[in-house]
Amino acid sequence: MKGQLGGVAPISIEAIEAARKRIAGTILRTPLVKLELGRSGPEVYLKLENLQPINSFKLRGAANAVAMLPPERRSLGVWTISAGNAGQGVAYAARQAGVPCTVVTIETAPETKVNRMRALGANLVKASFDACWEAMERRTFPGVPGTFVHPFDDDDFIAGNASMGLEIVEDLPAVRTVVAAIGGGGLVTGIASGVRARKPDVRVLGAEPETAAPGAVSFANGRASEFEGWKPTFVDGAGGKSVFPRMWERMHRVVDGSIVVSLDELKRSMRLLAERARVIAEGAGALGVAAALSGKAGPEPIVAVVSGGNIELETFFELIGSVRM
């Protein structure tokens, strides 16, 4: 499959605008709200993608990618690889299209995400993190039929994500910095493509946990790189072992870098969101906020993307209860 892939090109504003119209009946135009931090804090606004029907931004890209499949390929059914959020997005879009969906899911995926994928009608095949990561590069998995929808390395998926960037600059024309989590890179690349199509001078940054920050390593090295010492944590929706070369080609053209945050900073941001904004964010969902509050994000106003809220409540309470503000 790898040899059949086309070259990497920038996501055009025409493709983004078309995607926005295509998915308008499926996704929610999420609100942008100010995070009240008092006089001592930076000016931060929250893009609340945790309010999407699947509680994650992944519905944007999945809805566009499934809609863009030729009918003969879509009719074969679709499948993807996911820790839970992309799986929900593809399953949701497949259900709307009336076709079957299979998700190869990481065996450590939280039960709340597993249950939601099943509820959306997805057939689940569990595999190790390494097997899933390798399958995303190969775009095949033994015994799984249908048409593969890549959860980030796909122009149509990224164009759907990019619709968020247009919303941000329309709702906050004065925005100077946008920060979003890096997992595979499709979120931050999409947002940057949308934002910079309208406001080229806005700074766009990724955010990663200290235990899995291949984006930061790649920016430091100037090439797609692996992260040594990768560790699994509660941040299941972001932080891979490496940046795929194709994603690096897309990302480094439009993204300015990546901010690395500690797990305690992340937990405190999850708690802050709950206390100040009554927002429940999963680990990956709070990465942008942690980065925005780190003092490393740069000019204000800053938009922090709350990319998802799919977390078991018991786990959420345990995490936010383990840190003090």
Average pLDDT over residues 171-177: 98
**Within a domain: 153:** no
pLDDT tens, 128-161?
A: 989 998 998 899 999 999 999 999 999 999 999 9
Determine, yes or no, domain membership for 215. Answer: yes
What is residue 4's predicted lDDT score, i.e. its pLDDT? 57
pLDDT digits (tens, 9 = 90+) for 75-111: 999 999 998 899 999 999 999 999 999 999 989 888 8
* Mean pLDDT confidence for 218-240: 94
pLDDT at residue number 324: 86
Q: Which amino acid type is present at position 59?
A: L
Distances (CA, A) of 201 to 32, 177, 268, 306, 311: 20, 9, 30, 22, 35
The C-alpha atoms of residue 196 and residue 162 are separated, in whole angstroms, by 10
CATH number (domain holding residue 270) = 3.40.50.1100
**Pair 113, 253 in one domain:** no
pLDDT above 80: residue 1: no
Query: Tokens in use for 225?
Result: 């790189």
Q: Is the peptide bond before 214 cis (omega within 30 degrees of 0)?
A: no
pLDDT of 83: 86
Q: Does residue 96 lie within any of the structural domains?
A: yes
Q: Would you give the distance in Å from CA 294 to the centre of its chain? A: 20
42 and 76 fall within a common domain:
no
My answer on whether 76 and 137 are in the same domain is: yes
Range of the domain at 163: 2-56+158-321
Same domain, 49 and 66: no
Tokens of 246: 């194709």
Asked whether residue 309 falls in the same domain as residue 166, the answer is yes
* Residue at a domain's end among 126, 148, 170: 148
27 & 122 share domain: no
Domain annotation covers residue 19 = yes
Residue 166 included in any domain: yes
HSE on the CB side for 38, CA within 13 Å?
Answer: 3
Distance CA 170, CA 184 (A): 26
For 257-295, write each residue's pLDDT tens digit. Answer: 999 999 999 999 999 999 999 999 999 999 999 999 999
Across the range 228-253, mean pLDDT stands at 94
Residue 203 within a domain: yes
Q: Looking at the structure, do residues 185 and 144 belong to the same domain, yes or no? A: no
Strand residue runs (E) in the chain: 32-35, 44-48, 78-82, 101-106, 123-127, 147-148, 177-181, 203-209, 257-261, 302-306
Judge if 70 and 51 occupy the same domain.
Answer: no
How many domains does the chain contain in total?
Answer: 2
Q: For 282, which DSSP code?
A: -
Confidence of residue 38 (pLDDT cuts 50, 70, 90): confident
The reply to whether 207 and 230 lie within a common domain is yes
Quick check: 173 pLDDT over 70?
Answer: yes
- Predicted local confidence at residue 262, as pLDDT: 98
CA atoms within 13 A on the CB side of 284: 32
Residues 196 and 313 in one domain: yes
Cα torsion angle, 84, 89, 148, 10, sign = negative
**pLDDT above 70: residue 2:** no
Backbone angles phi, psi at 134, to 5 degrees: -65, -40
Last residue of a domain, one of 92, 119, 148: 148
What pLDDT is stored for residue 229 in this prediction?
92
Distances, alpha carbon 283 to alpha carbons 21, 55, 173, 209, 311, in Å:
30, 13, 28, 9, 8
Q: Determine the pLDDT at residue 239.
A: 86
268 assigned to some structural domain: yes
pLDDT higher than 60, residue 323: yes
Model confidence pTM above 0.75 = yes
Residue 245 sits in the same domain as residue 221: yes
User: Same domain, yes or no, for 210 and 127?
Assistant: no
Residue 297 counted as domain residue: yes
* End residue of a domain, out of 128, 148, 168: 148
Per-residue pLDDT at 3 exceeds 60: no
Tell me whether strands 123-127 and 101-106 are parallel, antiparallel or unpaired: parallel
